[in-house]
Structure 1
Amino acid sequence: MYRVLVPVDEDVDRAVSQASYVTDLPEAAENVEVILLFVFTGDDDELPSEMQQFKTADRIQSVRRARDHLQDHGVETIVRDDSGDTTDDIIQEAEEYDVDAIVLGGRKRSPAGKAIFGSVTQSVILNTDRPVVVTGKNS
């Protein structure tokens, strides 16, 4: 079984593009397992404790659409969520599940934008020894 980590953010088009890449792999329905990951960042810890139970990846539209696309194509899919630092969580999940590849959704940024704001994609590529595929948005 070829295991792929697909970390998605809130961008639906980018998430579906990542899922489409996976479903286009040869015999994906028979040979590929996907761990779909969403990382909650920011002020999520400020939610009242009674609301924390509702903080799940399944409530995020991009996760649902990517999961639906994968499952519609017969690809076994596990949905995971985490909170914290996106890059560290992606690398940790890749290690924990011993994935064969990481499929990231790239976004267009100028070189200056990358230097000022950083880039999760760039950080993951530089900090993992696993193959990384970067997809764009569907047109």
Structure 2
Amino acid sequence: MPPTDPHERRQRADRWLADGAGGLAIVVAVGGRDVQRVDGLADAVADLAGPALANVHVVHAYTPEQFDETTDRLNFPDDAPPEPDEVARRTKAVRDLVDRLETATAEDATRIEVHGTVNEDAGEAIVDLATDVEADRVLVGGRKRSPAGKAVFGSTAQHVLLNADCPVTFVRD
């Protein structure tokens, strides 16, 4: 049974890290439509990350058009464009997922980082981040498809599934 005292949990994590346990690096891709998938994504991360002292990288990949629309919607000033990480931190899907992850992994030494990126190809941006952080696993969300659509995932999920250097978990509605 893991300790419930935060100080004891931190000490346990420090001991494990000192013993060479670096934990898993997990990338969780979140898009604007993933608000309804937050619980499923968080549960999948908690199942993977909890006992392994994971570093969870929540990434929201924007196209340039989506980034501009989002900064306008979130009322960022036009004269001082924000960093993509800051925009990602303020989006509902990311906020909800981070809140849920913090609750689900409270008894573990999981570190959660938020990344925003702007790229014409969201799938490429997610794969690049997974490579940069040396991810052990990538999680992407998607919706249930019709029988004809089952052969093809969404283009972002498909790109990640086909190009990531690590295992990819597809979490569907």
Q: Same fold (TM over 0.5)?
A: yes
Structure with the higher strand share, 1 or 2: 1
Structure 1: runs of 5+ lacking an equivalent? none
Matching residue's letter, 2:56: V
Alpha-carbon separation, structure 2, partners of 1:42 and 1:136: 26
Question: Is 2:10 aligned against 1:2?
Answer: no
2:155 counterpart of 1:124: no
Q: Secondary structure at the match of 2:145?
A: coil
- Out of 5, 15, 18, which is 2:41 matched to? 18
CA contact (8 A) 1:29 1:76 kept: no
In structure 2, relative to structure 1, the CA distance for the partners of 1:113 and 1:93 (3 Å cut) is same
Q: State whether residues 9 and 15 of structure 1, in contact with CA within 8 Å, keep that contact through their aligned partners in structure 2.
A: no
TM-score (norm 1): 0.82
Q: For this pair of structures, how many residues does the alignment match?
A: 135
Q: Which residue of 1 aligns with 2:136?
A: 100
Whole-Å separation in 1 of the counterparts to 2:92 and 2:51: 23
Question: Who is 1:64 aligned against?
Answer: 95
Match of 2:54 in 1: 32
Greater relative contact order, per chain length (Cα 8 Å cut-off, separation 6+): 1
Q: 1:108 deviation in Å?
A: 2.0
Deviations 1:49-101 (A, max 9, x none): 42522761011100001001111223320000001120110110000000000
Structure 2 CA distance, aligned partners of 1:130 and 1:82? 20
Cα offset for 1:45? 4.6
Equivalent position SS for 1:24: helix
Which has the larger displacement, 40-49 or 80-89?
A: 40-49
**Distance in structure 1 (CA, Å) of the matches to 2:150 and 2:101:** 32
| Runs of 4+ in structure 1 over 6 Å off | none
Q: 1:83 to 1:54 in 2, by over 3 A?
A: closer
Whether the 8 Å contact between 2:46 and 2:101 is mirrored in structure 1 is yes
Aligned to 1:90: 126
Cα distance between partner residues in 2 of 1:100 and 1:18: 16
Alpha-carbon distance, 1:131 to partner: 0.2
Unpaired segments ≥5 residues, structure 2? 1-22
What's the TM-score, normalizing by structure 2?
A: 0.67
Taking only aligned residues, the RMSD between alpha carbons, in angstroms, comes to 2.6
Q: Structure 1 vs Structure 2: percent identity of aligned residues?
A: 30
